[in-house]
Amino acid sequence: MAAGRTASRAAQALILAVVVGLLALLVTTTADHLQQRGIRSGFDFLLEPAGFSIGESLLPVEAEDSTLRAFAAGLLNTLRVALPGALLATLIGVLAGFGRLADNPLVRGLASAYVNAFRNIPLLLQLLAWYFLLTDLLPATDAALRVAPGVFLSKSGLALPWWVDGALEIPEPGGFGIDGGARLTPEYLAILLGLTFYSAAYIAETLRGAVEALPPGQRLSALALGMTPRQAFVLVLLPQAWRAALPPVTSQLLNLFKNASLAVAIGYPDLVSVAGTSLNQTGRAIECLAIVIAVYLLLSLLAAALSHRLEQRALRGQAA
Amino acid sequence: MMLVTLRRRFFGDGLNTALTLLVLAALALCLPPLLNWAVINARFAPDAAACETLDHAGACWGVVAEKARFILLGRYPADQAWRPFLAAGLITGSWLAAAFGWLRGGKLASALFLAPLLALPLLGGGLAGLSDVPTELWGGLPLTLLLTSAGMAGALPLGIAVAYGRRSALPILRGLLTGYVELARGIPLVAALFVASFLLPLFFPDGVAVDMLWRVLIAIVLFAAAYLSEIVRGGLQAFPAGQLDAALALGFNRWQTQRWIVLPQVLRDVAPSLANSAIALFKDTSLVTIVSLYELTGSLGLALAGDPQWRPFYLEAWLFIAAIYWLGCALLAKVSQRLG
């Protein structure tokens, strides 16, 4: 036994030595290369001017603002698209999931067609299509579509009523396009729609799987007790399926957060996109990517903790 | 009896009737214009001038014929087109063999690993009299298929090794591997591709220049292996302990038990999940266009972006590509079913 422990210690020491050795080699090679290319390292650049501006942000960034501010604006932009996206995806996903389980063949067919199409085409390709539809096929700003009173859709995005200085301001067609209210850019709309419909298809499928995995006796007993099929679904099947679906749905929503990074492909300034721009400006690839990776790891940890608490609560509900 | 069931299903109660009418109304509203656009008013000849007069009242499917080679093969030299087609055929063939059960067990595994291995020299050349084609020129469907199959072929052995490593008795090894798996699964693939594009060149020793394709493939393998290792680890955990005892009793040593008893069964059990990972990877390969490799999605942009004459018919070309992806996913889903 003692010999075994010594061997195990020796093996671990060897592994550690190899890993440390490789890391040291990596660090020295990288340091050499940075020196050759005249790139300084360190995070001091975060306090220096960003050198680029971000037009679309809750936190306006001008070229002379700090890089740190640009990163913060990027993170806010990621959240600005991922949070509403998560909400909408859950909503549409649940609806489509119900649709796939419906008795009505028309509804079931429609829901299946949606899930099948959106799950089997890459998200990036879907984003490109949304962006093309929003920027090429919509009318120009001066001929904006009036979707609802005070809501206008055109090549330059969606204009909708918004609170300005405490009063609701309603957009109106003016001399140069649409005046007043809030404006959502085509880039934002494309990534929001893309993320929503892609993730919703996965959530629908998860929910359907969870309901179909329940023992058939559950439904039959409910029917035998005199419930209608709809009552059996809502009162007996759904609460049980929801518990089983919770972990995979949380993981789908986490995927949605990670997929928000595809924004870079259509020019929406999310965190990854800002990191890419800053990387090109400063050459500090290691630092910029380290920030991106750290933020996403932190988000993953948060999501894991949250999902753990939800599961615990669901389990307690089951025990009670 | 049939009629009663049908009536109940479509018009069973108020809600059902309302849904039926709603769906029918939506179909009646959408289908005729769609049919008009896609078939009745559409033009199928690659004639840009004639398409322009349509003013999008009908589809211009001619764009697919006009741009097919560019979309399917990217910038690969035209006179060598047979090579990427053959490479794509080899990889698709190995998937078909898995989906329809033409090959099984070890033969199937060899085919799935050999196809990308043969596709590489076929695309790159440099031997058997094939001219050199630099990796920057590879593109389109063969590149999509190559990244998927080579990515899986590289990630599976690594994933198996990581899964075993995380069950090892050595805490340091377990800790390091857990760190790697959580890191890879926590970040988006785009971030991993940025690392491949901007960081890897700094890591390689002097005088070693590695093409973007290889760097991206390294990133894809490391990224996918983390996910595959979790699948294999799940399979190992679910393996019944009684079989281990039985193997020991029969005189198998630890290595033999894993090689001949555990691994074959675990891999067969998790094969459908592995195929589902292949579907995810197949779709994810589209992201490499962000770091300027022009696989199917990238070559679509490349084919149309710089061509004002054909650019208006982006949607038609898009549908062509979407159909290819859809078919690829359907084929891999069939593989997953078959292996289950």
The whole-angstrom separation of Cα A269 and Cα A267 is: 6
Interatomic CA distance for residues B81 and B91, integer angstroms: 16
Say if residue A15 is in the same domain as residue A92. no
Residue by residue, DSSP assigns A245-260 as HHHHHHHHHHHHHHHG
- Work out the average pLDDT over A188-212: 95
Given a cut of 70, whether residue A98 has pLDDT beyond it is yes
Q: Is B143 left (phi over 0), alpha (psi -120 to 50) or beta?
A: alpha
Question: CA of A103: which chain B residue's CA is closest?
Answer: B9
For residue B195, the chain A residues in CB contact (below 8 A) are 289
Is the per-residue pLDDT at B94 higher than 70? yes
Q: Is residue A300 part of a domain?
A: yes
Q: Is A21 helix (H, G, I), strand (E, B) or coil?
A: helix
Instruction: List the single range of A51-60, A253-262, B184-193 with lowest mean pLDDT.
Output: A51-60
Q: Note the pLDDT tens digit of each residue in B70-90.
A: 999 998 998 899 999 999 999
Q: In chain A, which residues have their Cβ closer than 8 Å to the Cβ of B326? A: 117, 120-121
| pLDDT > 70? residue A2 | no
Asked whether residue A57 is domain-assigned, the answer is no
Cβ neighbour number for residue B319 with a 10 Å cutoff: 15
Residue B130, token pair as written in the block: 């094939």
Higher pLDDT, A2 or A249: A249
Q: If you average pLDDT over residues A127-141, what whole number do you get?
A: 90
CATH number at residue A256: 1.10.3720.10
B204 touches chain A (CB under 8 A): yes
**Residue A317 pLDDT > 70:** no
pLDDT of residue B45: 84
Q: What is the DSSP letter of A52?
A: S
- Closest to A15 (Cα-Cα) out of B147, B170, B63: B170
Query: Which of the residue ranges A18-27, B202-211, B226-235 would you say has the lowest mean pLDDT?
Result: B202-211
Lowest mean pLDDT among A210-224, A266-280, B4-18, B125-139: B4-18
Q: Is the pLDDT of residue B231 over 80?
A: yes
Contact B190 A105 (CB under 8 A): no
**Cα A260–A265–A271 angle (5° rounding)?**
45
Q: Does A265 touch chain B (CB under 8 A)?
A: yes
Whole-number percent of chain B with pLDDT over 90 = 63
Same domain for A226 and A289?
yes
> Is B318 touching A (CB cutoff 8 A)?
yes
Residues A28 and A102 grouped into a single domain? no
Is B167 at the interface with chain A, CB within 8 A?
A: no
Q: What angle do CA A197, A82, A43 make, to 5 degrees?
A: 140
In a domain, A162, yes or no: no
**What's the pLDDT at A175?**
67
Give domain status of residue A181, yes or no: no
The SS3 call for residue B125 is: coil
The answer to whether position A163 is within a domain reads: no
Q: Rg of chain A over CA atoms, in angstroms?
A: 26
- Look up residue A4 and give its two tokens: 């075994």
Distance from CA of A82 to the nearest CA of B (A): 14
Total domains in the fold of chain A: 2
Same domain, A81 and A15: no
Closest by CA to A42, choosing from A283, A271, A281, is A283
Residue A188 falls inside a structural domain: no
**B244 is written with which tokens?**
């281990």
Task: Determine the residue of chain A that is closest to B283 in CA distance.
Answer: A122
Averaged confidence pLDDT in chain B: 91
What token pair was written down for B171?
Answer: 């805490």
Same-domain check for residues A290 and A198: yes
Cβ distance B183 to A293 less than 8 Å, yes or no, reads yes
Beta bridge partners of A183: A159
pTM of the full predicted structure? 0.91
For residue A182, report the phi and psi dihedrals to the nearest 5 degrees. Answer: -105, 160
* C-alpha dist (Å) from residue B91 to A286, B80, B95, B105: 36, 18, 6, 17
State whether residue B329 sits within 8 Å of chain A by CB.
Answer: yes
Please give the pLDDT value at position A100: 92
- For residues A114 and A10, membership in a common domain is answered with no
- How high is the pLDDT of residue A309? 85
Hey, is the C-beta of A303 within 8 angstroms of any chain B C-beta?
A: no
Residue of B nearest to A304 (CA): B186
Is the confidence at residue A319, as pLDDT, over 60? no
pLDDT classification of B55: cutoffs 50, 70, 90: confident
Six-digit token pair at B168? 């090892």
Count other Cβ atoms within 10 Å, centred on residue B6.
11
Say if residue A34 is in the same domain as residue A78.
no
Tens digit of each residue's pLDDT (9 = 90 or more) over A37-74: 777 777 888 888 888 888 888 888 888 888 899 999 99
Q: Do A272 and B188 touch (CB under 8 A)?
A: yes
Res. A1: pLDDT tops 60: no
Measured between CA atoms, the residue of chain A closest to residue B316 is A129
Same domain, A229 and A312: yes
Are B194 and A276 an interchain contact pair (Cβ–Cβ within 8 Å)? Answer: yes
Residue A21 lies in a domain: yes
pLDDT at B271 > cutoff 60:
yes
Q: Which domain holds residue A6?
A: 2-39
Name, in order, each residue with C-beta under 8 angstroms of A169's C-beta and a sequence gap of 6 or more: A161, A162, A163, A180, A181
Q: Distance from A128 to chain B by nearest Cα, in Å?
A: 9
Q: Which of residues 92-111 of A touch B (CB under 8 A)?
A: 102-107, 110
Nearest to B18 by CA among A102, A233, A154: A102
Task: Say what the pLDDT of residue B250 is.
Answer: 93
Q: What is the mean pLDDT of chain A?
A: 88
Beta carbons of B194 and A123 less than 8 Å apart: no
Q: What is the pLDDT of residue A281?
A: 86
Binning chain A into helix, strand and coil, the percentages to the nearest 5 are 70, 10, 20
Chain A CB within 8 Å of residue B171 CB: yes
What is the pLDDT averaged over residues B291-310? 89
Chain A nearest CA to B45, separation (Å): 23
Is there a single domain that holds both residue A307 and residue A241?
yes
**Over pLDDT 90: what percentage of chain A?**
47
- A8 in contact with chain B, both atoms CB, cutoff 8 A: yes
Local confidence band at A180 (pLDDT 50, 70, 90 cut-offs): confident
HEC-encoded secondary structure of B206-247: CCCCCCHHHHHHHHHHHHHHHHHHHHHHHHHHCCCHHHHHHH
* A121 — pLDDT class (breaks 50, 70, 90): very high
The answer to whether position A185 is within a domain reads: no
DSSP A142: G
- Check pLDDT > 70 for residue B139: yes
Of these ranges, A138-142, A238-242, B183-187, the one predicted with the greatest mean pLDDT is: B183-187
Phi, psi angle pair for B112, to nearest 5°: -65, -30
Position B165 scores a pLDDT of 94
- Contact residues on chain B for A106, CB-CB shorter than 8 A: 10, 19-20, 23-24
Beta carbons within 8 Å of B157's beta carbon, 6+ residues apart: none
Q: Is A124 on the interface with B (CB under 8 A)?
A: yes
Residue A8 has its nearest CB partner, among B169, B182, B186, at B169
